Structure 1
Amino acid sequence: MNRTTAKTIWKAVILILILMSVSLVMFQTIQISGSQSEHINDLSRGWYYIQEGEKTEITLPAEIKSTDKVILYHENAENYQKEFLMFKGAEYQPVIYAGDCEIYRYDDEGVKRNNTVLNNMICMVEIPEGITGLLEMHFSPDGEGSCRIPAITAGTWKAQIRALLARNIYSILMNGILLSMGILLLGLSLVMCVMKMDGKRLRYISGFLIVCSMWGLTDSPFIQFLFVYDEVIINANFYFFMLIVTPMMRYIRTIPEMQKYRTLSVFIYFAYFNIIMQSVLVYTEKFTFFELLPITHIFYVVGIITIIILLLKEKRKSQNRDLIVCLKAFAAEGITGAVTIILYAMEFPLYQNLFQIGILLFVLILLYNLAKELVQNMKYRTEADIYRRLSEEDKLTGLKNRRAFDLMLQNIEKNRNDYKEAVMIFSDLNGLKYVNDHFGHAQGDRQIIGAAECIRKAFGELGYCYRIGGDEFCVIITNAVEKDEYEARLCDEIHRYNNENKSVHELSVAYGVSSISREDGTLRTVAEWKNEADRKMYLNKQEGKAGRR
């Protein structure tokens, strides 16, 4: 590992540590400020239930074995009037009574959810003012005859929301970072397109980040609670999850060695088919998204394993760096993804956090490789641009040379309708042979350089200046001005040059101006255009007017 690579890795590690530190600080700040500004009461104690005629006191959270409905009682309901109770446990269909008044009943009629989602759902209910008597909570045991009653808190709406945000701030912040990175990379990919660089891989990474972050945000208990577990948010969460695989597959297909495998295209098409199929089954009320979720899980596992196998197969044949990088990235994502699915199946509440870490590792590995490629491509493009400019530049005068002039004429010939106002100015030094014969070629070169300087100052801001021969120059102006202005500009510059540079022989230039458009509006061919400018220059040279006032 060279020093540059080591420094890059250290920078990435430091960046991750900074992000984690910021997350932790924000998390602790919100928790501290929430606990200081708004008091939340812990209702873990004071609960009891009646079993076989006996009163049994419990401290929450607790697990109660029962095949019948479990009813918990609390004798101090009036102490929490106008406060909000917050708890989980929607899978047990909770019903709450304050005195003789039913104040809450969980209703799952709209969206049928599985136990993992129900276990993470937030239930919140306000205890009305004027309530006296017992606070009752009714729970229906699961199929195993068990109720795992969660902890319960009481507090103001503001305090409860702040506490809920504190518990979910890491996930929200991580998804916000992923979404910001995705939008930034999408912008960079568009800039690369404008610069005529291949930004396809960057677009796929940005798409992956945006889809993953939106899946994470719509899966957040805090966000779902704010939207009252609306069906639109729940369904959007499933659609984002089903779309995650497509940018990954498309990224892999950009590697030349992987383009021959139709399996990748099949996986991409199946991903779209899976979305359509599940949509039809759900909206015809045959199944729910929760019931169909294992199909997507199996598809993802099979897809990632297939990609890794194909990458390993190609790696044995080729040592392409892209293959090695993708193997590392998908290995990291595959491991964290597999563990995430296992944790989800085990109803572990923080399964999403591990998946976010996997996404971050996956993207950082790919971005590191893309950054190296981008630097190399930029270096190549810069060098190529320098070589191109050098190949089209006259070394003596700094103007464009004959090669660049011919390329420009080819472009005009192909797109003449775009150059209807174009003007060509041919110019030629007067008396260069005399200067070379009597004062030497060095003085002749100074005359050529002086002429080039005058032409550049006169027409450089209007068009393109070329040295097309020993003492021959040409200017192509794409946006024409008044014809008399060309002569005035050139003569003024020559006059100024002769006053500022006392030479053994004054600089004098002959010129000829020709428009590509005839007086009747028709367009000349490039050959006719050149001949017209050359003819007028020859006439001007014969008259001997150039450079005189």
Structure 2
Amino acid sequence: MNRNDKARKYRDLPLGILGVFILVIFILLFVLAPKTTRGFHIEETSRMRNEFTVSWGSQKQTMTLPGSIKNPEKEVITMTTTLPEKTEYSVNSILVYSRQSRIKIYQAGEMIYDSGEAATTPYPLAYGSFWNSVRLKPGWQGEELKIEIQPMFAQSAVSGYLPAVYLGSESSFLYMVLENGALAAGQSLLLILLGLYFAFMGAFFEHQKKTDSLCFLGFFAIDVGAWMLLESHVLQLFMSRLAVYSFFEYITYDLMPIFIVRFLLSYEEFREKKYMKLLYYSGIAIVLALLLAAITGHGYLFRTQIAVQIYIMVSLVCFIIALISLRKGKKRFQDRRLIHGIWILIVSTICEFIQFFLINRGESGVILRMGLLIFIGYLGITLMQEGRKLRAGDYETAALAAMAYKDGLTGMANRAAYEADKTKLEGQQNTAVIVMVADMNGLKFINDQYGHASGDQAICTVGEMMQQAFDQIGKSYRIGGDEFCVLAEGIEMEQFEKVCQSFLRNMEQIQSEYPIEVAIGVEHGVSKNMDDIFKSADATMYQCKMKMKEERNHTGRNRQ
């Protein structure tokens, strides 16, 4: 570590200490500070903790809510209690969460709410799961409250679900739903923004090798964020079409495993595994079949979710097999961060299934959300970093390639560039081309009499004059010590000869302590005969060089 790095390290240390100090104080305040609502008058909400008489079929039970019963026959569930005589806060409504059931609410024997039949247009729909806020009639204190629940499905999560009942006002219920869903909604909005950013960067800015990976990770993040936002039930406060809400809640969940499999297929090591491709296409087929079953009335999306859950379990098995095969393969998979990310996803999903099916279904979702957040954030940052490294490598490669085709002394294109351009022209077969070969006269004389620095300057002068003359109609090259060349395509010979004459006149007008002369030879033809054209131009240049030498001998200017 050099001196500047050490200075920067110690310069940033106090800022880091300040940041940690602020974070510690924030955590202490968040955990220990008393909760107040002095900024706004937020009315209280409370869960009814008195006992309910719950009856279904021939059975009856007394319990506090929420709870659960065994009701595989989908019998109508009746929950009866007495409303409190008085409360310490303003109460004019009750709040009940319904899960794929029709709910009727009675106050003192009079029905005050009916969630209604399930919709049948545009195709048979389930009831959906949502909050029901019901205003009580005046004088409700001490009256009987009866709630009837008609489950739509036999699954225990529906037919045996007994929701909690809350007392309060509609404004307090809104606050409760927003408060309970704020964390999940915040996480979901973060994921959606990250997904949009990843997809945008992958599509337009990142390295080509990472485009698919970043785009589909972005699509996966958007889908997960949308699902989490719907699961938070915050959007329910702003949507009147609950059927649309319910549809997107299921479809976003169904698409998650498909997007993650497609993301993995953006890596060659996973594309090579046929079962991964089969997994991807079968996922699309399953979701398509579920949608067709729903719109034709042969299966509600809620009831057919078991197919998606089985698909997720099969996907996890395939992921584990793939990771094991990559570890044991002859060619070790180098992307360790991807492997770590996949294991995080596998473990969090398995824990979520254990929580959902075996422990407490009502509190499920937290582990999966955290796993998805870590997976998307971890791999998104990794892909961005890898993309930047690849772009930097491309820039370096491009710079080295440019240097490989550039003459270090004159800045002109060099022999390698000429050979590359010649090969391209030869591939075009019958393109009309003109080749001019040029060679300096007397470079040895300049080097011997005036020094090699003057010789280099003379070469640079010729190169500069050639580029000024010919770069508008072709490309100039330095192909040897004092040898130059011009390639032009699609140019009339008459026009090219005029430029040659102008170039020679400009050379004669150069003011220098030593003479700078150039012999040239020009030939034209079609690009498939590039070597023959060059040889012919070179022979013409040699004849010109000999003629110029004879003229110097005749006038007494005898030099090499």
Q: Following TM superposition, by how much is the alpha carbon of 1:154 offset from its aligned partner in structure 2, in angstroms? A: 3.1
Structure 1 match to 2:554: none
Structure 2 match to 1:37: 40
- In 1, Cα distance between the equivalents of 2:258 and 2:407? 51
Q: From 476, 483, 498, give the equivalent of 1:472.
A: 483
- In 2, Cα distance between the equivalents of 1:355 and 1:282? 27
1:94 paired with 2:97, answer no
Tell me the secondary structure at the aligned position of residue 104 of structure 1. strand
Whether contact under 8 Å (1:69, 1:139) holds in the other structure is yes
1:447 paired with 2:455, answer no
Structure 1 match to 2:195: 182
Q: Following TM superposition, by how much is the alpha carbon of 1:104 offset from its aligned partner in structure 2, in angstroms? A: 2.4
Structure 1 match to 2:243: 231
1:104 paired with 2:113, answer yes
1:69 paired with 2:75, answer no
Q: From 496, 508, 514, give the equivalent of 1:505.
A: 514
Q: Following TM superposition, by how much is the alpha carbon of 1:304 offset from its aligned partner in structure 2, in angstroms? A: 0.8
Structure 2 match to 1:354: 367
Q: Following TM superposition, by how much is the alpha carbon of 1:109 offset from its aligned partner in structure 2, in angstroms? A: 0.8
Letter of the 1:332 partner, please give it: I
1:264 paired with 2:272, answer no
- In 2, Cα distance between the equivalents of 1:446 and 1:146? 94
Q: Following TM superposition, by how much is the alpha carbon of 1:423 offset from its aligned partner in structure 2, in angstroms? A: 8.0
1:110-129 matches, cutoff 5 A: 110=119, 118=129, 121-126=130-135
Mark the CA change 1:126 to 1:427 in structure 2 (over 3 Å): closer, same or farther.
farther
Q: Following TM superposition, by how much is the alpha carbon of 1:71 offset from its aligned partner in structure 2, in angstroms? A: 3.5
Tell me the secondary structure at the aligned position of residue 140 of structure 1. strand
- In 2, Cα distance between the equivalents of 1:324 and 1:192? 24
Structure 1 match to 2:146: 138
Structure 1: stretches of 5+ with no match in the other structure: 1-6, 8-13, 53-57, 517-522, 545-549
Q: From 349, 358, 381, give the equivalent of 1:337.
A: 349
Mark the CA change 1:443 to 1:166 in structure 2 (over 3 Å): closer, same or farther.
same
- In 1, Cα distance between the equivalents of 2:301 and 2:423? 61
- In 2, Cα distance between the equivalents of 1:35 and 1:526? 90
Mark the CA change 1:82 to 1:140 in structure 2 (over 3 Å): closer, same or farther.
closer
1:214 paired with 2:226, answer yes
Aligned length: 499
Tell me the secondary structure at the aligned position of residue 122 of structure 1. strand
Whether contact under 8 Å (1:178, 1:210) holds in the other structure is yes
Deviations 1:504-529 (A, max 9, x none): 2154556688999xxxxxx7767387
Mark the CA change 1:35 to 1:294 in structure 2 (over 3 Å): closer, same or farther.
farther
TM-score, normalisation: structure 1 = 0.71
Q: Bigger CA drift: 182-191 or 58-67? A: 58-67
Tell me the secondary structure at the aligned position of residue 408 of structure 2. coil
Q: Bigger CA drift: 268-277 or 59-68? A: 59-68
Whether contact under 8 Å (2:356, 2:364) holds in the other structure is yes
TM-score, normalisation: structure 2 = 0.70
- In 2, Cα distance between the equivalents of 1:50 and 1:435? 114
Tell me the secondary structure at the aligned position of residue 291 of structure 1. coil
- In 2, Cα distance between the equivalents of 1:414 and 1:300? 52
Letter of the 1:355 partner, please give it: L
Q: Bigger CA drift: 175-184 or 73-82? A: 73-82
Tell me the secondary structure at the aligned position of residue 152 of structure 1. strand
Q: Following TM superposition, by how much is the alpha carbon of 1:489 offset from its aligned partner in structure 2, in angstroms? A: 9.0
Structure 2: stretches of 5+ with no match in the other structure: 1-8, 10-16, 56-61, 71-75, 550-560
Q: From 287, 309, 314, give the equivalent of 2:326.
A: 314
Q: Percent identity?
A: 17
- In 1, Cα distance between the equivalents of 2:178 and 2:521? 77
Q: Following TM superposition, by how much is the alpha carbon of 1:374 offset from its aligned partner in structure 2, in angstroms? A: 4.1
Letter of the 1:505 partner, please give it: Y
Tell me the secondary structure at the aligned position of residue 473 of structure 1. strand
Mark the CA change 1:490 to 1:185 in structure 2 (over 3 Å): closer, same or farther.
farther
Q: Following TM superposition, by how much is the alpha carbon of 1:282 offset from its aligned partner in structure 2, in angstroms? A: 1.7
CA RMSD between the two structures: 5.2
